[in-house]
Structure formats: C-alpha cells, structure tokens
Amino acid sequence: MGARENILARIRRAQGRPGGEPTAAERAAVREAIARHEVGPQPPFAHAPDRLAQFRKECDRLGTTHAQVASERDVPAEVARYLAANGLEPRLAGWGEFAGLDWAGAGIAFDNRPARGDDRTGLTGCFCAIAETGTVLLLSAPATPKVTALLPETHVCVVRTSRLVDTMEDSFALVRAEVGDPPRAVFFVSGPSRTADIEQTIVIGAHGPYRVHVILL
C-alpha cells in the first residue's frame, strides 16, 4: 500500500468509518455541500451604500493612490501626469488591451509586452475590483500576464467602475459566471508590496512594486 492509501485508511479508522476510501455516497455529499457555495457572514462596511467611496477609502489605507478619468482615451495623460509627479521615466510595459491608446501623444514610450525584471513601470487592467478591501483582481491569461503587475517598481492599474463589486465572494461569482474554472493565477493585489520582518517596522516595497496607482474610469 502507498502513502495515499495509508493516510486515507488512517483517517477513516480514526473517524470510525469502514473501508479504505470514502464511499460514493460520502463523495456525493461533499460535492453537494461544495455546490451550495455557502456565503458566510460579512462585515457591514462590505456593503457600503457608496461602493466607489468604500473602494477609495481602502485604497488610501493601503497606500494605493487613485485618480478618476472620464474615458479610456484619457488614460495616457493621467499616466504621464502620475509618472512625472513621481519623478519616474515616461516608459512602461503594458497589457495589449491598452496598446491602441495615444501614448506618443502623452509623451510615453509604450512597450506592448509582458514586463521583465528591469522594467520600471507596468500597466495592467483588471478582471474586477473589490470595494471591501480596496483590492484589484487580475486573472492570468496570455493577454494579461501577471508579471507586469509584479516585477516593476510601479504598477499602474486601470479599473472600470462598472467592474467594482462589494466582496471577494462577489468576485468569485463573477469568475464562475464569466470564466468558469479559475485560471492558473487568480491574483488579488491590495496596495504596494510591504514587509515588517525587521523589527515589525512596515517598509513599503519588498519584492513587488513600491507604488500602486489605480486609474478609475
């Protein structure tokens, strides 16, 4: 007998169930319990009357900066303003969905490719965003590489307010409805990377970005 069989048999013995493996009925009961997707109690602020205000409030708390623009056409100008205000070079690696915008007009060199270890700024969109925690949710796919949000020191993320949901549970419901099975990486980003491993002192910018800037449209 292998480790798998031994472990399963030990569990069953300990729980007073006969046989070496769960029965078909036990497996079915577990699948049924899973299929209910029971949602637990949620904090009151998770269902704020003003979802956008709640999202912004949590972004502020996390150190994520944010700006509102009227339409997608205005994104390059906002990115240019943000990079200049932070003294960052006007060049970025971005997701293909933004490649068609007028980057040259805003004075920015746009590289339509996944970010590499030496890129300074990465531009991504997101699948949706969560108001409860000020989180953006990225799903991995060929057109939406996760590295672009992770390797550069600055991550700029475009969030459409129509894609703002209240809670993580709502985001999972959206994944199920629109994608089905979760893709390889379901990546929840809540502010710039940080560590408190030396003397419990919070330092912004550990291995991931030092800055996260959300552009709402």
Partner 1 sequence: MQVQSMFFKQRASEKLGDELLQGNMRKAKGKFVDGRAKAVAEFGVWEEVRSHAAKVRDRALANLDAYLLEFEANATRRGAVVHWAETAEEACAIIVGIARANGVRKAAKSKSMVSEEVNLNEALEAAGVEVIETDLGEYILQLAHEPPSHIVAPAVHKSKEQVAELFVKAHGKPRLTEIPAMTREAREALRGHFLGADMGISGSNFVIAETGTTLTVTNEGNADMVTTLPRIHVVITGIEKVIGTLEDFATLIRLLPRSAIGQTVTNYLTLTTGLKMPDEADGPEQMHIVLVDAGRTKLVGGPMQEMLRCIRCGACMNHCPVYQNVGGHAYGWVYPGPMGSILTPVYVGLENAGDLPNAATFCHECAVACPVKIPLPELMRKLREQQFDRKLRPWPERLAIAAWAFAVKRPALYAFLSGIGARVAKWMGGREGLIHSLPGLDGWTKGRDMPAPAGRTFRELYRQRSLERR
| 87 touches partner 1 by CB under 8 A | no
- From CA 80, how far away is CA 74, in angstroms rounded? 10
Residue 43 binds to partner 1 (criterion: CB under 8 A): yes
Tokens standing for 124? 């991504």
Does position 146 bind partner 1 by CB under 8 A?
yes
- DSSP for 105-143, please give it: GGT-EEEES---TT-SEEEE--SEEETTTTEEEEE--TT
Residue whose C-alpha is closest to residue 94's, from 118, 68, 125, 69: 125
> Residue 7, interface with partner 1 (CB under 8 A)?
yes
Q: Which two tokens stand for residue 114?
A: 């996944």
- In the list 37, 60, 107, 112, the residue contacting partner 1 (rule: CB under 8 A) is 37
Residue 125 interacting with partner 1 (CB under 8 A)? no
CB of 107: closest distance to partner 1 in angstroms?
A: 27
In whole angstroms, how close is the CB of 55 to partner 1 at the nearest point?
13
Q: Does 99 bind partner 1 (CB under 8 A)?
A: no
User: Counting contacts by CB under 8 A, is residue 2 touching partner 1?
Assistant: yes
Question: Which of 104, 48, 51, 50 lies closest to 76, judged by CA?
Answer: 104
Unique residue bearing structure tokens 């809670």? 167
In whole angstroms, what is the distance from residue 161 CA to residue 216 CA? Answer: 6
Which one-letter amino acid corresponds to residue 57?
Answer: K
Restricting to residues 12-31, name those near partner 1 by CB under 8 A.
Answer: 12-17, 21-22, 26-27, 29-31
Which lies closer to partner 1 via its Cβ, residue 92 or residue 106? Answer: 92
Asked if 65 is part of the footprint of partner 1 (rule: CB under 8 A), the reply reads no
Residue 119 interacts with partner 1 (CB under 8 A)?
Answer: no
Under rule CB under 8 A, residue 111 binds partner 1: no
Q: Which is nearer to partner 1, 85 or 141 (CB)?
A: 141
Nearest distance from C-beta of residue 42 to partner 1, angstroms: 7
Are 162 and 200 in contact by the 8 Å Cβ rule? The answer is no
Q: Is 9 helix (H, G, I), strand (E, B) or coil?
A: helix
| Interactions with partner 1, residue window 147-186 (CB under 8 A) | 147, 150, 167-169, 172, 181-186
